[in-house]
Amino acid sequence: MTEQAAEKPIRIASILFERLDQIDLTGPFEVFSRLTNCSYDIVAKEIRPMKDANGLTITPNQSFAECQDVDVLHIPGGPGQEDLMEDEETLSFIRDKASRATFVFSVCTGALVCGAAGLLRGRKATTHWGFKTLLPHFGAISVDSRVVIDGNLISCAGVTAGIDGALMVACLVRGQAAAEQIQLLMEYAPDPPFNCGAPDVARADLVQSAREALEPLLSRRLATARRCAEKLGIVS
Protein backbone atom coordinates (compact mmCIF):
# COMPACT_ATOMS: atom_id res chain seq x y z
CA MET A 1 0.00 0.00 0.00
CA THR A 2 1.43 3.41 -0.91
CA GLU A 3 1.74 6.09 1.74
CA GLN A 4 -0.90 8.13 -0.10
CA ALA A 5 -3.41 5.26 -0.07
CA ALA A 6 -2.69 4.70 3.61
CA GLU A 7 -3.68 8.28 4.35
CA LYS A 8 -6.81 8.56 2.23
CA PRO A 9 -9.54 9.82 4.61
CA ILE A 10 -11.89 7.04 5.61
CA ARG A 11 -15.22 6.71 7.39
CA ILE A 12 -16.19 3.94 9.78
CA ALA A 13 -19.53 3.40 11.50
CA SER A 14 -20.34 0.96 14.31
CA ILE A 15 -24.00 0.17 14.89
CA LEU A 16 -25.30 0.44 18.45
CA PHE A 17 -28.56 -1.13 19.62
CA GLU A 18 -30.30 -2.18 22.84
CA ARG A 19 -29.00 -5.36 24.50
CA LEU A 20 -25.97 -5.72 22.27
CA ASP A 21 -22.94 -7.40 23.80
CA GLN A 22 -20.95 -4.27 24.57
CA ILE A 23 -17.48 -5.66 23.86
CA ASP A 24 -18.57 -6.59 20.32
CA LEU A 25 -18.60 -2.81 19.87
CA THR A 26 -16.04 -1.58 22.40
CA GLY A 27 -13.32 -4.08 21.38
CA PRO A 28 -13.25 -2.83 17.76
CA PHE A 29 -13.83 0.77 19.00
CA GLU A 30 -10.44 0.59 20.71
CA VAL A 31 -8.82 -0.17 17.34
CA PHE A 32 -10.87 2.02 14.97
CA SER A 33 -10.78 5.10 17.19
CA ARG A 34 -6.98 5.06 16.97
CA LEU A 35 -6.82 5.15 13.15
CA THR A 36 -5.49 8.40 11.73
CA ASN A 37 -7.45 10.47 9.22
CA CYS A 38 -10.57 8.49 10.04
CA SER A 39 -14.04 9.77 10.79
CA TYR A 40 -15.57 7.24 13.17
CA ASP A 41 -19.16 7.27 14.41
CA ILE A 42 -21.36 5.18 16.68
CA VAL A 43 -24.69 5.08 14.86
CA ALA A 44 -28.14 4.00 15.99
CA LYS A 45 -31.76 4.46 15.00
CA GLU A 46 -31.99 7.31 17.47
CA ILE A 47 -29.47 9.24 19.53
CA ARG A 48 -30.32 8.19 23.07
CA PRO A 49 -28.55 6.16 25.77
CA MET A 50 -28.78 2.40 25.21
CA LYS A 51 -28.06 -0.45 27.61
CA ASP A 52 -25.98 -3.44 26.62
CA ALA A 53 -27.15 -6.96 27.52
CA ASN A 54 -25.50 -6.69 30.93
CA GLY A 55 -26.44 -3.09 31.67
CA LEU A 56 -23.61 -0.86 30.42
CA THR A 57 -25.03 2.45 29.16
CA ILE A 58 -23.53 3.71 25.89
CA THR A 59 -24.82 6.65 23.84
CA PRO A 60 -24.44 6.82 20.04
CA ASN A 61 -23.28 10.06 18.44
CA GLN A 62 -25.11 9.72 15.12
CA SER A 63 -28.51 8.56 13.89
CA PHE A 64 -29.06 6.29 10.88
CA ALA A 65 -30.56 9.30 9.08
CA GLU A 66 -27.40 11.36 9.61
CA CYS A 67 -24.97 8.60 8.61
CA GLN A 68 -23.06 9.18 5.37
CA ASP A 69 -21.64 6.38 3.25
CA VAL A 70 -18.85 4.57 5.03
CA ASP A 71 -15.75 2.60 4.11
CA VAL A 72 -16.29 0.15 6.97
CA LEU A 73 -19.69 -0.80 8.40
CA HIS A 74 -19.31 -2.60 11.73
CA ILE A 75 -22.17 -4.73 13.04
CA PRO A 76 -21.82 -6.07 16.61
CA GLY A 77 -23.93 -8.89 18.06
CA GLY A 78 -25.36 -9.91 21.41
CA PRO A 79 -28.85 -10.87 22.62
CA GLY A 80 -30.47 -7.73 21.19
CA GLN A 81 -29.44 -8.64 17.64
CA GLU A 82 -32.46 -10.91 17.39
CA ASP A 83 -34.82 -7.92 17.28
CA LEU A 84 -32.78 -6.40 14.46
CA MET A 85 -33.16 -9.52 12.31
CA GLU A 86 -36.78 -8.61 11.64
CA ASP A 87 -36.50 -4.84 11.88
CA GLU A 88 -36.84 -3.49 8.35
CA GLU A 89 -35.48 -0.04 9.22
CA THR A 90 -32.20 -1.52 10.49
CA LEU A 91 -31.96 -4.13 7.70
CA SER A 92 -32.54 -1.45 5.03
CA PHE A 93 -29.90 0.78 6.62
CA ILE A 94 -27.39 -2.09 6.65
CA ARG A 95 -28.18 -3.19 3.07
CA ASP A 96 -27.90 0.37 1.79
CA LYS A 97 -24.61 1.22 3.52
CA ALA A 98 -23.15 -2.23 2.81
CA SER A 99 -23.85 -1.86 -0.92
CA ARG A 100 -21.34 1.01 -1.10
CA ALA A 101 -18.95 0.08 1.76
CA THR A 102 -15.44 -1.23 1.16
CA PHE A 103 -15.86 -3.66 4.04
CA VAL A 104 -18.75 -5.04 6.06
CA PHE A 105 -17.42 -6.20 9.41
CA SER A 106 -19.52 -8.39 11.70
CA VAL A 107 -18.62 -9.46 15.23
CA CYS A 108 -20.18 -12.45 17.01
CA THR A 109 -23.90 -12.78 16.23
CA GLY A 110 -23.76 -9.52 14.27
CA ALA A 111 -23.23 -12.00 11.41
CA LEU A 112 -26.84 -13.17 11.84
CA VAL A 113 -28.05 -9.60 11.32
CA CYS A 114 -25.98 -9.44 8.14
CA GLY A 115 -27.58 -12.75 7.20
CA ALA A 116 -31.07 -11.37 7.74
CA ALA A 117 -30.12 -8.42 5.52
CA GLY A 118 -29.26 -10.94 2.79
CA LEU A 119 -25.52 -10.23 2.89
CA LEU A 120 -24.36 -13.79 3.58
CA ARG A 121 -25.76 -15.62 0.51
CA GLY A 122 -23.01 -17.87 -0.79
CA ARG A 123 -20.43 -16.19 1.45
CA LYS A 124 -17.95 -17.78 3.81
CA ALA A 125 -18.60 -16.50 7.32
CA THR A 126 -18.36 -17.21 11.03
CA THR A 127 -20.12 -16.21 14.27
CA HIS A 128 -20.08 -17.12 17.99
CA TRP A 129 -19.32 -20.85 18.35
CA GLY A 130 -22.68 -21.47 20.02
CA PHE A 131 -24.65 -20.17 17.02
CA LYS A 132 -22.68 -21.34 13.98
CA THR A 133 -25.37 -23.88 13.09
CA LEU A 134 -27.62 -20.92 12.18
CA LEU A 135 -25.38 -19.63 9.37
CA PRO A 136 -26.69 -21.98 6.61
CA HIS A 137 -30.18 -20.56 7.11
CA PHE A 138 -28.85 -17.36 5.56
CA GLY A 139 -27.11 -19.17 2.70
CA ALA A 140 -23.68 -18.76 4.32
CA ILE A 141 -20.84 -21.28 4.28
CA SER A 142 -19.76 -21.69 7.90
CA VAL A 143 -15.98 -21.56 8.34
CA ASP A 144 -13.99 -22.61 11.42
CA SER A 145 -11.75 -19.61 11.82
CA ARG A 146 -11.59 -16.73 14.32
CA VAL A 147 -11.69 -14.16 11.52
CA VAL A 148 -13.09 -14.99 8.06
CA ILE A 149 -12.53 -12.74 5.05
CA ASP A 150 -14.66 -13.33 1.93
CA GLY A 151 -14.47 -10.45 -0.49
CA ASN A 152 -15.73 -7.33 1.26
CA LEU A 153 -17.25 -9.35 4.13
CA ILE A 154 -15.15 -9.80 7.27
CA SER A 155 -16.82 -11.83 10.01
CA CYS A 156 -15.46 -12.79 13.42
CA ALA A 157 -16.17 -15.48 15.96
CA GLY A 158 -17.73 -14.59 19.32
CA VAL A 159 -17.39 -11.54 21.53
CA THR A 160 -13.65 -10.94 22.04
CA ALA A 161 -12.83 -12.07 18.47
CA GLY A 162 -13.84 -8.57 17.42
CA ILE A 163 -10.47 -7.27 18.64
CA ASP A 164 -8.58 -9.65 16.34
CA GLY A 165 -10.96 -8.86 13.49
CA ALA A 166 -10.71 -5.09 13.94
CA LEU A 167 -6.92 -5.28 13.77
CA MET A 168 -7.29 -7.16 10.46
CA VAL A 169 -9.65 -4.44 9.20
CA ALA A 170 -7.15 -1.78 10.33
CA CYS A 171 -4.47 -3.60 8.32
CA LEU A 172 -6.70 -3.77 5.24
CA VAL A 173 -7.63 -0.08 5.31
CA ARG A 174 -4.37 1.44 6.58
CA GLY A 175 -1.62 -1.14 6.04
CA GLN A 176 0.19 -3.50 8.38
CA ALA A 177 2.48 -0.93 10.03
CA ALA A 178 -0.50 1.14 11.19
CA ALA A 179 -2.28 -1.93 12.55
CA GLU A 180 0.89 -3.09 14.33
CA GLN A 181 1.36 0.32 15.91
CA ILE A 182 -2.18 0.20 17.30
CA GLN A 183 -1.69 -3.36 18.58
CA LEU A 184 1.47 -2.31 20.44
CA LEU A 185 -0.13 0.81 21.93
CA MET A 186 -3.09 -1.22 23.19
CA GLU A 187 -0.62 -3.79 24.56
CA TYR A 188 -2.48 -6.58 22.82
CA ALA A 189 -0.26 -9.52 23.70
CA PRO A 190 -3.06 -11.55 25.27
CA ASP A 191 -2.31 -14.17 27.90
CA PRO A 192 -5.59 -15.84 28.87
CA PRO A 193 -5.40 -17.46 32.32
CA PHE A 194 -7.02 -20.67 31.04
CA ASN A 195 -6.97 -22.59 27.77
CA CYS A 196 -10.72 -22.82 27.36
CA GLY A 197 -11.80 -19.94 25.11
CA ALA A 198 -13.18 -22.12 22.30
CA PRO A 199 -15.09 -25.43 22.28
CA ASP A 200 -12.27 -27.33 20.58
CA VAL A 201 -9.88 -26.63 23.47
CA ALA A 202 -12.23 -26.43 26.48
CA ARG A 203 -13.12 -29.45 28.61
CA ALA A 204 -16.19 -31.35 27.43
CA ASP A 205 -18.16 -30.67 30.64
CA LEU A 206 -17.49 -26.94 30.31
CA VAL A 207 -18.69 -26.93 26.69
CA GLN A 208 -21.75 -28.93 27.69
CA SER A 209 -22.76 -26.51 30.45
CA ALA A 210 -22.12 -23.51 28.18
CA ARG A 211 -24.31 -25.09 25.48
CA GLU A 212 -27.05 -25.60 28.08
CA ALA A 213 -26.75 -21.95 29.14
CA LEU A 214 -27.03 -20.83 25.51
CA GLU A 215 -29.86 -23.20 24.57
CA PRO A 216 -32.86 -20.86 25.17
CA LEU A 217 -31.17 -18.14 23.10
CA LEU A 218 -30.30 -20.64 20.35
CA SER A 219 -33.90 -21.90 20.16
CA ARG A 220 -35.28 -18.38 19.81
CA ARG A 221 -32.66 -17.44 17.24
CA LEU A 222 -33.33 -20.60 15.24
CA ALA A 223 -37.02 -19.74 14.98
CA THR A 224 -36.11 -16.21 13.89
CA ALA A 225 -33.53 -17.50 11.42
CA ARG A 226 -36.15 -19.77 9.83
CA ARG A 227 -38.55 -16.85 9.36
CA CYS A 228 -35.72 -14.78 7.86
CA ALA A 229 -34.74 -17.63 5.51
CA GLU A 230 -38.30 -17.91 4.32
CA LYS A 231 -38.50 -14.18 3.64
CA LEU A 232 -35.18 -14.32 1.78
CA GLY A 233 -36.29 -17.40 -0.18
CA ILE A 234 -33.33 -19.44 1.07
CA VAL A 235 -33.73 -23.22 1.40
CA SER A 236 -31.17 -24.57 3.88
- Note the residues at the interface with its own copies (CB under 8 A): 21-23, 26-27, 29-30, 33-34, 40, 42, 49, 54-59, 61, 108, 128-130, 146-147, 157-161, 163-164, 167-168, 171, 176-177, 179-181, 183-194, 196-199, 201-203, 206-207, 209-210, 213-214
The two beta strands, 10-15 and 72-75, are parallel
Helix axes 22-32, 161-174, angle to 10 degrees: 30
In the complex with its own copies, which residue's Cβ is closer, 10 or 229? Answer: 10
Residue 108 a catalytic site member: yes
CB of 33 to its own copies, least distance (A): 4
Degrees to nearest 5, angle at CA 57 with 56 and 59: 140
CB of 230 to its own copies, least distance (A): 29
**Cβ contacts of 207 within 8 Å, gap of 6 or more:** 199
Is 117 in contact with 98 (CB distance < 8 Å)?
yes
In the complex with its own copies, which residue's Cβ is closer, 183 or 228? Answer: 183
Distance CA 19, CA 47 (A): 15
Distance CA 224, CA 213 (A): 19
CB of 91 to its own copies, least distance (A): 25
In the complex with its own copies, which residue's Cβ is closer, 139 or 165? Answer: 165
Catalytic (active-site) positions: 108
